[in-house]
Amino acid sequence: VPDSRSGVSPFKGLPAFEEADAARFFGRKALTARLLDHLHESRFLAVVGASGSGKSSVVRAGLIPAVRAQRNRPVHLITPTAQPLEALATTLTRHSESVTATATLIDDLRQDARSLHLYARKLLGDQPALLLVVDQFEELFTLCRDESEREAFVANLVTAVAPGTGGPIRAVITLRADFYNHCLAYPRLHALLEAQQRIVGPMSAEELRQAIELPAQRQGLAFEPGLVELLLREVGAAGGRLPEPGALPLLSHALLETWRRREGDKLTLAGYTAAGGVRGAIAQTADATYTSLPPDRQVIARNIFLRLTELGEGTQDTRRRAPLDELIPQGEGAGTSAAVLRLLADARLVTTDEDAAEVAHEALIREWPALRRWLDEDREALRLHRQLTEDAAAWEASGRDDSYLYRGARLEAAGEWAEAEVAPLK
């Protein structure tokens, strides 16, 4: 049993590093410098790498603070979500007094690909430039279902950074390498990617050592002799080899769990082993959290994790941000669902904000056998159910227009599971 959940951890665990974590972010000096150099020369940068390679972290906790330190320019950071134009318009109008500004900008972006460029110019006045970061660019393909919205988003982006435009926007996107080919369907994006990308590869063994040791050192914590070498070996980075792909989130989580089992100011081999090691810590945390729940709450937890997974179509499964009102249906069970979600967030398996939640990292989807089993058992039913959820949202958005909808979608809108209810009404 971990001795403490309290105190500020030197390690981040599953979530990506944020700008506020810059002081405990180590091991990416060289990469950050390369990204910064690229942005001096160019107004577009694609940061490409595998899931879990550290793209979000190096951009948020490395590049953004470095840009701010060099020149004080406004930064707008978004993830596309299912409504990329809304995400974009919301951040750009964040200081606007007018309540209709966001809606107007969404309409403009949809209608004219120059809108992003023009709006940024107006917004900045005589300030020279603005940094727009689109993290998890692949959500344009996994979460956004509306091809015309996706096209409008891409068109605005490529127009804003086109060499001829001379505009104030510098844009950085992070992109999962396995979604690269999705981008190639958009010729101007294709051209940008071809010329303006940097790859996030594995850290060197030396960089990994820094990422392990320096955050602890900063807080006056010491590793028991041999533990750092063991960690490096377990991520495959011993003897001059590079770590295995996908090792970073496992390492990050294992370090956090080892810290929670620390003895005084010592991070111990015993603590590391009890946490399950690099390979097992995620599954162990997830299993322990899940099995600590009574059966009725286990059902809720399982449904939450399934709703937070986007089923891959010929690609790996990815995370899915779900609105809180989907995870916590109105009515009788609302309090219980909210409590389960809070527990998952406390265990740092899930991150939540005011209106949505997501798994703390895709590594959880890959590395937790129980979740994999649930996903594989029922892929078709889940796909069907996801379709119902979307139909239900569309039905609500249409003002409950009865003409086109499946009965199942209405049950879903009412907060009930509805796999069996698939007969069209008309």
Looking at 218-226, 244-252, 260-268, 335-343, which segment touches ligand ADP (CB under 6 A)?
244-252
Using CB under 6 A, which of 9, 14, 223, 278 touches ligand ADP? Answer: 14
Which residue, 385, 321, 382, is CA-closest to 356?
Answer: 321
**Site residues, Mg ion (CB under 5 A):** 56
Please give the residue whose beta carbon sits closest to Mg ion in the complex.
Answer: 56
Residue 105 or 247: which CB sits closer to ligand ADP? 247
Using CB under 6 A, which of 9, 10, 27, 412 touches ligand ADP? Answer: 27
* 347 within 8 A of 359, measured Cβ to Cβ: no
Least distance to ligand ADP from the beta carbon of 167, Å?
Answer: 27
- ∠ CA 285-360-253, rounded to 5°: 45
Question: What would the x/- binding string for ligand ADP be over residues 188 to 227, using CB under 6 A?
Answer: -----------------------x----------------
Q: Is 258 a binder of ligand ADP (CB under 6 A)?
A: no
Least distance to Mg ion from the beta carbon of 37, Å?
Answer: 22
DSSP string, 228-251: HHHHHHHTT--TTPPPPTTHHHHH
Other Cβ atoms less than 10 A from the Cβ of 225: the count is 8
Q: Is 249 a binder of ligand ADP (CB under 6 A)?
A: yes
Residue 234 or 362: which CB sits closer to Mg ion? 362
Cα–Cα distance list, 324 to 155, 258, 328, 352, 354 (Å): 31, 31, 6, 9, 8
Q: Which residues pair with 199 in a beta bridge?
A: 48
Q: Is 10 a binder of ligand ADP (CB under 6 A)?
A: no
* 253 within 8 A of 367, measured Cβ to Cβ: no
Least distance to ligand ADP from the beta carbon of 45, Å?
Answer: 15
The helix/strand/coil state of 89 is helix
Residues with Cβ < 8 Å from 357, sequence gap 6 or more? 304, 308, 321, 322, 324, 327, 341, 345, 350, 351
| Residue 28: contacted member of ligand ADP, Mg ion, none (CB under 5 to 8 Å, by partner type) | ligand ADP
Residues 41-70 that bind ligand ADP (CB under 6 A): 49, 51-57
Q: Is 25 a binder of ligand ADP (CB under 6 A)?
A: yes
Least distance to ligand ADP from the beta carbon of 163, Å?
Answer: 28
- The pair of structure tokens assigned to 258 is 């080892």
Burial (0-12, 13-18, 19+ Cβ within 10 Å), 373 = exposed
| Residue 84: contacted member of Mg ion, ligand ADP, none (CB under 5 to 8 Å, by partner type) | none
Least distance to ligand ADP from the beta carbon of 380, Å?
Answer: 28
* 179 within 8 A of 141, measured Cβ to Cβ: yes
Least distance to ligand ADP from the beta carbon of 318, Å?
Answer: 10
The dihedral built from the CA positions of residue 349, 354, 356 and 362, taken in this order, carries a sign that is: negative
Residues of the shown chain interacting with ligand ADP in the complex, contacts defined by CB under 6 A: 12, 14, 16-17, 25-28, 49, 51-57, 211, 248-249, 252, 361
